[in-house]
Every structure is written in structure tokens, then in C-alpha cells.
């Protein structure tokens, strides 16, 4: 079973850069998209509900902003899109889908940067993290296999970005943001990629300025966190920098068939 997460930075823009061809050949069972930036009627018809896929879209109230989307070969028995708080739900950042016993949360975590390019949204971002994982905690404690995939907008360790010293005061690498990832791992959540790859120079986002991607000056901010019950079934995790079409690249996990 292959599960893929990708911040497409606008599905309409990504559609013009080969998204449909990628989707047809990605060999995935579930694909979660973040930063869709469109409501369902604005998505190209060929991507809105392609043959062989169940699709679900959760846009933000604000046009052209945020939004998440889900493709799956199996129809989920349920999909939740609310964290129970209006200030989070209006931004269209959440899809929590159930496939048998497996819960797959497709999440576009907030960026902490404010309108003035300051860190004004960090409290909102951290509150979002707490609320999401608080809602998942009951099922995690019950032993449900859960995957929380998406753009976390946080690089956890110095190894997870090319220039850590230059970004110590930048949202995405602030001590309080990194501490939130620490907190989740201490609870028992597992960073799937780091279970299989301990080395440097693996990134999932690159600035579109200065040839950053070509020079691999990037950040690893796209993750799949697994509950202990899900991690038992994870066989591999990967980042796919060869896939273009967005300033992010996809990340994926492979699970055995016993997960469901």
C-alpha cells in the first residue's frame, strides 16, 4: 500500500506542469494534496474526479488560499474536515479519512509568518498543532494505526534544512516550532522518513529564487508521522525530489497489506 503527500502550491498551476501525468503513473493507493488553492468547481475536470479514484476536496473560505484534497483507490468510510474550532476550519487545512482501521490525516499545517513577514502567526500555528493531535490522541491510545501526512511547515533538526544558522529566527525553524515536533515524537509519533534515512541533504521544499532547487538549498518540511500501531506496518519512506510541478516535492510511505 503506497501513500503519497504533496503540497502542489496550486492544483491549477501544477496541472499545467504535468500533474495529471504524474497522478496516472504514481502507483499510489492514497494521495493527499495540500495548498490546492481552488474550490472543487475550479479544479480541471480531468482532475476533479478521474476514473479509478475517489476524490474529496476541502477548500478554504478565502478564495485562492490553502485547501486540501484527497485521491484514494478505496472509498473511505468517513472523512472529517473539522477541528471543532472556527478559526482553524475556515482555512481548509484538514482531511481525516478512515480506511478500515487505518486513519489517514491529510493536513496543511499553518505557516507562522504574518502579513508583515514577522512571526505573528506562530501562536496560531502551534495552537493548530495542539488541537489536531489532541483530537487524534484518543484513537492513538486505543492502538489505531494513524498516519498524519502533509506540509508541517517546520524543519525539525539542523539536518533538515541547508542553512540552519541563517534561519534561527525564521518561522519554520524557531525553537518553539521545533519543540512541538519534539513533543509529538515523545508522545510516540514516529517521523517515518528518519526511521529509514539518517543522512543530510534530503529536502522537500526549495525557494523559487536563486536556483535553490538546482543547488539543493532546501528544507525538509513535508512529513508522514506514524502512530506506533501504524509504524509496525511501514516498510519504507521516501522523498521524491525528481518530481517537479511545485516548489515542494512529494513524500511517501509504503505499508504492508495488513494495515487495514
CA distance 33 to 249: 11
Does residue 260 register a pLDDT over 90? Answer: no
Q: How many domains does the chain have?
A: 1
Catalytic residue among 118, 151, 191, 247: 151
Q: What is the pLDDT of residues 191-223, one digit of tens each?
A: 999 999 999 999 999 999 999 999 999 999 999
pLDDT, tens digit (0-9, with 9 covering 90-100), for 111-131: 999 887 799 999 999 999 999
We report the CATH number of the domain holding residue 35 as 3.60.10.10
pLDDT exceeds 90 at position 170: yes
Domain encompassing residue 129: 2-259
Percentage of the residues of the chain whose pLDDT score is greater than 70: 100
Residue whose C-alpha cell reads 506514524 in the numeric block: 226
Comparing C-alpha atoms, which of 186, 189, 204, 88 is closest to residue 146? Answer: 189
Q: Which residues contact 11 (CB under 8 A, 6 or more apart)?
A: 19, 33, 36, 37, 38, 43, 44, 47, 69
Active site residue 151: yes
Contacts of 126 (CB under 8 A, 6+ apart): 176, 177, 180
Residue with cell 513535508: 222
Amino acid at each position: 500500500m503506497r501513500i503519497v503527500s504533496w503540497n502542489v502550491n496550486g492544483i491549477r498551476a501544477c496541472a499545467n506542469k504535468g500533474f495529471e501525468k504524474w497522478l496516472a503513473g504514481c502507483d499510489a493507493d492514497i494521495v493527499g494534496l495540500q495548498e490546492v488553492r481552488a474550490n472543487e468547481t475550479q479544479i480541471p475536470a480531468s482532475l476533479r474526479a478521474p476514473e479509478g479514484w475517489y476524490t474529496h476536496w476541502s477548500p478554504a473560505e478565502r478564495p485562492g488560499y490553502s485547501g486540501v484534497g484527497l485521491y484514494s483507490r478505496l472509498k473511505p468510510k468517513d472523512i472529517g474536515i473539522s477541528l471543532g474550532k472556527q478559526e482553524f476550519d475556515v482555512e481548509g487545512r484538514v482531511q481525516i479519512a478512515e480506511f478500515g482501521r487505518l486513519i489517514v490525516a491529510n493536513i496543511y499545517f499553518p505557516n507562522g509568518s504574518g502579513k508583515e513577514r514577522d512571526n505573528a502567526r506562530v501562536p496560531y500555528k502551534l495552537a493548530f498543532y495542539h488541537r489536531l493531535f489532541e483530537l487524534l490522541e484518543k484513537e492513538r491510545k486505543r492502538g489505531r494505526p494513524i498516519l498524519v501526512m502533509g506540509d508541517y511547515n517546520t524543519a525539525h533538526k539542523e539536518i533538515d534544512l541547508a542553512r540552519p544558522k541563517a534561519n534561527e529566527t525564521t518561522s519554520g525553524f524557531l525553537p518553539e516550532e521545533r519543540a512541538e515536533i519534539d513533543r509529538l515524537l515523545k508522545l510516540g509519533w514516529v517521523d517515518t522518513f528518519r526511521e529509514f534515512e539518517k543522512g543530510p541533504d534530503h529536502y522537500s521544499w526549495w525557494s523559487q529564487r536563486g536556483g535553490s532547487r538546482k543547488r539543493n538549498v532546501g528544507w525538509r518540511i513535508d512529513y508522514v508521522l506514524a502512530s506506533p500501531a501504524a509504524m509496525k506496518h511501514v516498510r519504507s519512506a521516501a522523498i521524491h525530489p525528481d518530481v517537479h510541478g511545485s516548489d515542494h516535492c512529494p513524500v511517501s510511505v509504503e505499508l504492508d497489506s495488513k494495515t487495514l
